[in-house]
Amino acid sequence: MKTMRTTRVPEKITAPVRRLCKRIHVDAKAFYITVIPKPDSKIHDCFAVVDRKIKSAGGAVRFGWVVWFLPGIMMEGEFHVIWQSPDGDLIDVSPNPLNVDTILFIPDPKIKYTGKQVDNIRIPLNKNPMVHEFIKLAHKKFLVMNEGDLAYQVGEVAVNNNKITPIMQRMQQLANELKIG
């Protein structure tokens, strides 16, 4: 029986992490950053969290991508922002869904937050057609969940069930076959 694969922070900077860096920016280099969540902050609300931190403590915003790793399946970059303290320290002040103390971050000097949602960047870790289908469906899901004005909403959004349900059902089937938990 195979164990379930769960998303995590990559333990080290590997060839797939470097490939993800190159997809983001030719000179991008990933590094680890400590997570010290700002109290009373929501997961997936990093832009507002960092903005409040800057207003209360000064500092600056640093745009980039947090790296998530699904062993044997994919490496994924999620658009993210971290706080640079007035002393120059880089800290992730946003809570994350995995409740980890350290993230792997790839700075991206060419991206800015405009209020519009940005899709994750996904790198497959094998040639399994199911993995490639899963990644394509993740992109389709993003497109459906961010149609029109939805692209500027944060948190739960109401989407057309006729469009999203088949995508979610197929993603769940693939997740079961790929042992993604």
Q: Is residue 35 part of a domain?
A: yes
* Structure-token match 């490939």, residue found: 19
Q: Which domain holds residue 30?
A: 15-122
Q: Which residues pair with 79 in a beta bridge?
A: 65
3 falls in which pLDDT band (50, 70, 90)?
confident
pLDDT of residue 4: 81
Q: Final residue of a domain: which of 122, 150, 168?
A: 122
**Overall average pLDDT of the 51-80 stretch:** 97
74-84 and 121-124 as β-strands: parallel, antiparallel, unpaired?
A: antiparallel
Query: Is the domain of 21 the same as that of 109?
Result: yes
**Overall average pLDDT of the 11-40 stretch:** 94
Query: Is the domain of 52 the same as that of 93?
Result: yes
> What is the chain's mean pLDDT, rounded?
94
pLDDT digits (tens, 9 = 90+) for 96-141: 999 999 999 999 999 999 999 999 999 999 999 999 999 999 999 9
H or E element at residue 122: strand 121-124
Q: Final residue of a domain: which of 122, 137, 157?
A: 122
The amino acid present at 27, given as its one-letter code, is: D
The amino acid present at 170, given as its one-letter code, is: R
Comparing CA positions, the residue from 169, 171, 147, 168 lying closest to residue 159 is 147
| Predicted TM-score (pTM) of this structure | 0.93
Q: In this structure, what token pair is assigned to residue 179? A: 């042992």
Which are the contacts of 92, defined by CB distance < 8 A and separation ≥ 6?
33, 34, 35, 36, 37, 46, 66, 80, 82, 83, 103, 105
Query: Is the domain of 109 the same as that of 88?
Result: yes
**Overall average pLDDT of the 77-93 stretch:** 98
Query: Is the domain of 67 the same as that of 83?
Result: yes
Q: What are phi and psi of 76, to 5 degrees?
A: -135, 130
Q: Is residue 10 part of a domain?
A: no
Query: Is the domain of 68 the same as that of 140?
Result: no
Torsion of CA 126, 5, 3, 95, to 10 degrees: 160
Q: Final residue of a domain: which of 83, 101, 122?
A: 122
